[in-house]
Structure 1
C-alpha cells in the first residue's frame, strides 16, 4: 500500500510516546468516563506535562514551537484507540489557534501558557439553538455599557463546555449588520454572569462533555475582545479550512481503524465451516472499504501538506471533509454488520465507533454545506470557461 511520507523520525518517536500515554492513561478509564459523561481535569494536566497539548504554540507562550504534524499525531492516536472523550482537538486546533492567530500579546501571554500545561481548558462558543452552520444568524448580543460590553445570550452543543476555563465566544455587536456585526471575545470560565447548563446526552461521544452555556448580563472589558469589533465572522471563516481538515484527519484514521478491527475479527470468527473472512461477501466488502480508505488517506495527507504550506483552500477542505466523513460513517456501519450481534453490544469498540461516527457529517459544517461550497466553485469555474 501507499506509504505515508509526511512524518519524520521525530514525529514517529513522538507518536510512540503518545501511544503509550493513551494506552496507560486513557484506554483503561474511557468506559467509566463514558458513564460519567466527562473526562477528569487530571487527564488534561497529565497530557500537558507530556507535551501533547497545543504543540505548535511558540516557546515564548509556554509551548514547544513544533510543527502541525505533532498535533496530527496526537489526534490520530486518540482516534485510533477509540478515545473520543478527551476534547484535545477543540482545545488545541481551534481555541489555541484562534488566540495565537488573532489575540493581542497580552491575551497570548495570559491564556496560552495555561492551555499548553492543561491547567486551563479551551472551548469554542459559536453554535446557538437557532444558528449552526449559518453563524451570521447568531443572537447572543454584546452591547457597550460604559467602558464594558454587556453580554446576553445562549450557546448549545458546546464541546468542553462543562470544563472550559477559556471560551472563544461569538457575539453580535450590531444586530443589523449581518456578518459584519459579529465580534469574538475571550471569556474566562469564572466570569460572573457566565453560567453552564446541563451536560447534554448525545448519540455518541459519551465521554466528551457537551453543554448549554448561558450569559446573563455578563460584563467584559474591551481587552477581552479577540480581534477587531465587527470582524469576528471574517476571522471564523479563515479557520474553517483547518477545522474541516481536522475532521478529515479524524475520519480517515477511524475508517482505517475499524477496517483493521473487522479484518481481525472476521479472520477468527467461524461460519459455515470456515472463517467469516474467507466468505466472498466479506472479502468484497472489506476490499472495497480498504480501497476507499487508501484514497481518503492520500487525499487527507495531501491536504495536510497544503495546509502546512499555507495553500489549503476552502474548496479542497470541503472536498476532504465531505468524502472522508461519508466514508467514516459507511465504514463504521458496514464493519459493524460483519460483527453480527456482537457489533450491537456497547462493550465492543465497533459499536462505540458507530455511535461516535455520525457527528462527523454535521460538525465543522454539514455535508450539505460542503456540497454548496463545492458547487459554487464549480459554477465559478464554468463561468470562467464560458
Structure 2
C-alpha cells in the first residue's frame, strides 16, 4: 500500500535530499572566511589528541551530533537504524527527525524507536514548535520523550519551510510563551533548532530566557528546505516564490558568532552545511560546542551502518589533523587557540 500524508512527505524529503540540488544558491556557511595558521612545531603526539567531551550529561567520544533528518516512513526505518548503530559505535549524539508522525499513527514507529540501537549516547526527540499552535503542548511533548526514551527534546523552527510547503502550518504567532511552558513541564532539557535558515543572538536570548537549555543554530549554507519544498510543491505560486528565497538565511558562521556574543555560556550546537572535520574545527574556534552533520551522512545511511561509520571516522580524523596542524591536543586548546585567522585578521596578536 502506497504511503500517504505525512509518511509520504517524509519519503519524498529523503529522496529529494539524496538526488536533487537542494542547497541554497550562492549561499555558504561563511566558514571559508576562517583559516588556520600552520604550526610547524606542534609539540604534541598525534596519538594523544583527545576529542572527548560531554553533552546532555553524557560522555561523547567526539564533539559530534547526527543532526535531525528523518523518521516516519519505510525508507527512514533503515536509515535511522544505521545512523543509530554508527552513533553508538563512534560515540556521537543523535537526533531524530520530526517525531510528530509517532503521535499521529502507528505506521513506521520503528523509524523513531532507535534507543535499542543507541543505548548509551545522547538521543534527542524532535517536534515542530509551530505544532504548539495546532493542538500540541507539554503533554504531547512529554509523550514523545517517553516513547523514544530520549534524553532531550528539540523544538524546531521552520517558518520558511512551512510557507513553501503545500501542506504547511503557518501560524507562528505567540509561540514563545508556549515554548516556555514546554520547557517548564517536560522532564528533559529542551533545545531549539532551526532547519537551515539560522538563529541569531537576539532570538537565542529570547529562547534562553524562556527556559531553553541549548541552541542549535542550524544556519544557512547547507540544505535549503525552501528548495526541498519547491521541488515537492504542486502549487505554481509557491514554486515560483521559492526561487526568490534560494539565497535566504543567516550563514552558520554568523549565527555562531551572534549567539555566542549574546550568550556566553549556553551550550551551542553548530549545524548547517557542515561537511568536514575542518569545518567542525573552525566552528569550535568561534564558539560552538557540538557540531551537527546531516546530509553528509545520509547517503551512507541508505547503505549500512558500516558505511556511516566510515564517514564519521573520516570527519573525526580530519578534526584531529586540524588540531595536530595547530598544536591543540584537546578541545579546550582548540577553542582557545590563537592560530586562526578570521576574514584575514589573525588572532595571534590578540591572544598572545
TM over 0.5: no
TM-score, with structure 2 as normaliser: 0.26
Give the TM-score taking structure 1 as reference length: 0.24
Specify which structure has the bigger relative contact order, considering alpha-carbon pairs within 8 angstroms and separated by 6 or more residues.
2
Which structure's CA Rg is the greater one? 1
Higher helix residue share: 1
